[in-house]
Structure 1
Amino acid sequence: MSKHWTPVTERHLAAMLRHAEQQLDPALHQIWRLIRLPLPELWQQHPWGDEGCGFWVVAVFGKTCVYFNDISQGFNSSIFMSWGHIEDYQTRTDALDVHLERLFQSHPDLTSAAN
């Protein structure tokens, strides 16, 4: 890890999410409302998340979580086997809307659930 990296704070993440929500088109906003957590949760991811005590998970659907990787500064998805543990480390630099669009395309079941 870089000596200049510091984990994102919950307060900063909340501000980022508020801004990102304003940018969502209606279809993505509908999906977001269905999958987002009421409050972000800090989940463990070994070994990459160890230094920052994990990553903030902001949404869940099925056995998939959406989390903010504050090392790469982007939203990513992973499967999880147990609540609170991210299985796959991803390094996308996606903004929330870009990541939700990716999910929307790869999970057509979200489309039908949002309608």
Structure 2
Amino acid sequence: MRKDRETELALLKKRIQKFGINPPDTARFLRENVQNFTAAELRLMSKKIVYDSIVYYTQESADFMETAETMDDWITFLSVVKWFGDQAFSYLMTIYTGPAGEAILTPPQRSLRSN
């Protein structure tokens, strides 16, 4: 019985090092009461730490995916703005310099913009 408790305590410490403890009050509770826990209670606490980590990382990944989707929307929007800018530049160069001037000025404009 004692060996089982020591094994569970070692597993609990290992899981705390690997996953961490999210709420600080859980860490304080463990420090104050770990000597009073049975092997079954230590096992349940260990499972709770793993479950809390799963929930935390799942929520964090959802936040990252939302950020990625927002950035993708911005990239799409800015690509459309760039296209309109290219069209406006081409139109203005054709009006002010004619087709030959537009053909001469458009490649340098694109190379300067890409940097």
Both structures adopt the same fold (TM-score exceeding 0.5): no
TM-score, normalising length from structure 1?
0.30
Larger Rg: 2
More strand by share: 1
More helix by share: 2
TM-score, normalising length from structure 2?
0.30
